[in-house]
Amino acid sequence: MTNLSINLNKVALLRNSRSFGIPSVIKAAYTCIQAGAHGITVHPRPDARHIKSEDVYELAKMLTVEFNIEGNPSSQFLKIIRDVKPTQCTLVPDAPNAFTSDHGWNLVTNGFWLKPIIQELKELGIRVSLFLDTDLNQIKLAKEIGADRIELYTEPYATAFRNNEVKSVFQKYQQAANKAQEMGLGVNAGHDLNLHNLEKFCSIPNILEVSIGHALIADAIELGLFNAVKEYLKIISPN
């Protein structure tokens, strides 16, 4: 079974364009949970342009589903993680001024300093996932430095799907997922997955979780948030 974790960053981005708290990130989380979402994802960035640190703490108080917090492990980010102790922490190699996540870790150059961070988070009882491309060597290194899961960066898949050139790219994701699973790593996925491309991607066996934000929130403008979540759940849990 594939779990659906809803990324609420875009709800916070819209809220931040005004000063009176509408729309509410907390109310959005409640709606997603009521619709059947298995988890909530947030990605607090240093400039707080969408999710703010106070959102993370408030969500931690009310969530009855898995909480996944994404981000580059800066000192500020790690303080939040230590305080909140989410179900899962997804480490992402974002630069402070990154527009959005656009590549996975290079663990050849970053693995040595990520390893003790991963160890500490696991000792706190937090599942650790690393944001990766489909490079098989990076997956091998992720296992070596102690990650529990990887999250495959799916923008290249989404782009290939839009361009009707998905076959060879999809094979890379299949191979990457298979390699990770053979090594005992769980496999998550996220970035630009939507109602059109999600079904094919989830035909890869044993994808544990997909994290979806931008497309789902965009669909919610037409469908309503509750109904949008239901539409995504139909795809990943058709029975």
Residues 142-161 have pLDDT tens digits of 999 999 999 999 999 999 99
User: Which whole number is the average pLDDT over 62-78?
Assistant: 96
What is the band of 97 on the pLDDT scale with cuts at 50, 70, 90? low
- Name all domains of the chain by residue range, CATH numbers in brackets: 3-236 (3.20.20.70)
pTM over 0.85: yes
CA distance linking residue 153 with residue 159, whole number of Å? 12
Q: Residue 71 to residues 22, 98, 139, 181: CA-CA distances in angstroms?
A: 24, 11, 19, 24
* Residue 136: closest CA among 174, 109, 98: 174
Burial 132-158 (b: 16+ CB within 10 A, else e): bbbbeebbebbbebbbbbbbbbbbbbb
Torsion of CA 153, 145, 143, 209, to 10 degrees: -40
More confident residue, 73 or 105: 73
* Residue 7: closest CA among 117, 104, 151, 114: 151
* 163: pLDDT strictly greater than 90: yes
Q: Which residues are part of the catalytic machinery? A: 43, 70, 191
User: Which whole number is the average pLDDT over 58-68?
Assistant: 97
